Amino acid sequence: MPLPWGSRRIRGIGHFAAISHVLIKHGLGELSDRLFARRRPGVKSSGLPDAQRIRRVFEELGPSFIKLGQLLSTRGDILPPEYIEELTKLQDRVPPVPFDEIRQTIEHELQQPLESLFAHFEPRAMAAASVAQVHSARLKTGEQVAVKVIRPGIDKRIRKDIDLMYFFASRIEKRSELGRVIGAANLVKEFERTIFRELDMLVEAGNIERFAQSFADIDEIYIPGVHWTHTSRSVLTMEHIDGIKMDHVAEIREAGIDPEEVALIGLRSFSRQLMQAGIFHADPHPGNTIVMRDGRVSLVDFGIVGYLDEETMLQIAHVFLGFSEHDYELVMEAFQGAGLIDPQTMDLNQLRADLKEISEPFYGRSLKTIAVKDVYDQTMRLVRKYHISLPRNLLLLLKTFIQTEALGKILGSEASLLEVTRPYAKQLLERGYEAQKIFKNMGRELRATGGLLRSVPRLTHELLRRLATGDHRLELRHDGLDQAARKFEAGLNRLTIGLVLAASIIAASLILNSSQNVLLLAIHRFGLETVSVTQLLGITGYIIATILGLWLIFSIIRSGKL
């Protein structure tokens, strides 16, 4: 396949050397040789490199490769469990950018001096990650805010790294069967699409607004507000949330808040996102989930979200309801409706049996008694076994599902995610969702039909004009009717013979039974003295009828359609 880097000039030979040095440093010299087309005599490929070493290489290579590793950590459908476990540990905590550079970025983006924008701006970063860092500030109106700023120049660095990733993906696909199977170049393309969305603060601000609308009438969930006058492509200013990180269980208890109730709020929020909002927070780790002092739960950092269309929401509801009610036929129907399984190429009975085998042991158990890693590993084993291709949003959803369960487990919840989700799934299916969808589609089709009808007079006029001027000829053709015509003709012939046969029998009977004799002939044969012409005609009619009848019966028997 043509790769996007094919038309670009890969600059920075020193970067290649640095990557090769990092690989060798972590004991991956063999991988370096394969990537850079070097050959060592007597050295054979040992297959997949060690997962821990790969994780350390990503960490040392910097922000772009850390983000790539985090993306790969969601791809349990193509990578072994030990790789998923290691890549999940990737942390993108890095030293913050100096305050002077942050000031320049904000003033350039918002076209005002920092002092005109904020009454106070804390120079020290609250948090710093590979692509952005967050500072505390106070607006002129007195509101406390959190300001997320994209690191200066990070987009150029990421673009340069992506060019290298495409280069490496090409080498990996040429020299590794695994690289071809997993589609290394496609993984880089997916990374390129997602990372630049994450770098756009206007996209994240839009995600926050959509969540705020979806949870506007839900008291237990709070979504921070966006200050659009202080937001741009590289700067996001939102309401500061004062609270406790969800994994600080002791501190939550000290604040007089029940951790198990917090877990239930999180599970209900997850259910609403899937069954009502059609958008879900795809990175609900403890740092992004804040327990407020009044017991509400706030979600922050909306850089990674997943979107669900109406049909997918409906299929997800069927899946959750099927699992909660032990109805694996419903689960299979939902999988098939979503296009995840193909009855022509898969053993559906065996898949159903495998689903039941891995699911039944978890029924009725609380979150704290379930090993989340086991659930994920067994699910991915089935995905790989049956070669199921999962879209990115469903992979994100599965990762979010695991993280949500993990948070519940940290909080010591006795709840079952399936039981919490079940009423939301039923509500989605019972409120006439399918009928709404039908009417919505009907309206769309009626609008399309109306547009076509409006164009019919014009198209008809144009067609007739072209026919009249000889620009086009109207030619009617039919195919595949010859055999049907022959069968119809044969049937018609049989019907005609049948009618002739019936007429001959009737005529012969009438003649033989007639008392009138026309033209008596003397024959002196067969014991007869005379015979009339009428008797000869009757006998001839019977003979013809007998011959035709025998032929007709024989032809029908021979056709096999008696």
Give Cβ neighbours of residue 451 (< 8 Å, ≥ 6 apart): none
10 Å CB burial of residue 207 (0-12, 13-18, 19+) is buried
Query: What distance in Å separates the CA atoms of residue 417 and residue 320, rounded to the nearest whole number?
Result: 9
For 386-426, the pLDDT digits (tens) are: 877 777 777 778 778 777 877 787 888 777 777 788 888 88
Looking at the DSSP bridge assignments, the partners of residue 133 are 128, 149
Q: Which of 77, 163, 283, 301 is catalytic?
A: 283
Report pTM: 0.65
**Domain map of the chain by residue range?**
4-91+157-193, 245-431, 441-472, 487-559
Q: What is the pLDDT of residues 252-308, one digit of tens each?
A: 999 999 999 998 998 899 889 988 888 888 888 777 889 999 999 999 888 888 888
Q: Is the pLDDT of residue 433 over 60?
A: no
Residue 108 has pLDDT above 50, yes or no: yes
- DSSP string for residues in 446-475: HHHHHHHHHHHHHHHHHHHHHHHHTSS---
Residue 174 pLDDT grade (very low, low, confident, very high; cuts 50, 70, 90):
confident
* Rounded Cα distance, 552 and 477, in Å: 35
H or E element that contains 522: strand 520-525
The residues pairing with 238 across neighbouring beta strands, listed in sequence order, are: 146, 226
Q: Average pLDDT of 372-393?
A: 75
Q: Does 283 participate in catalysis according to the annotation?
A: yes
Q: What is the maximum alpha-carbon separation in the chain?
A: 142
Q: Indicate the pairing of strand 221-222 with strand 243-245.
A: unpaired
Backbone angles phi, psi at 397, to 5 degrees: -65, -40
Query: Average pLDDT in the 193-221 region?
Result: 91
Using a pLDDT cut of 90, give the percent of the chain over it: 20
Q: Which residue has the higher pLDDT, 356 or 380?
A: 356
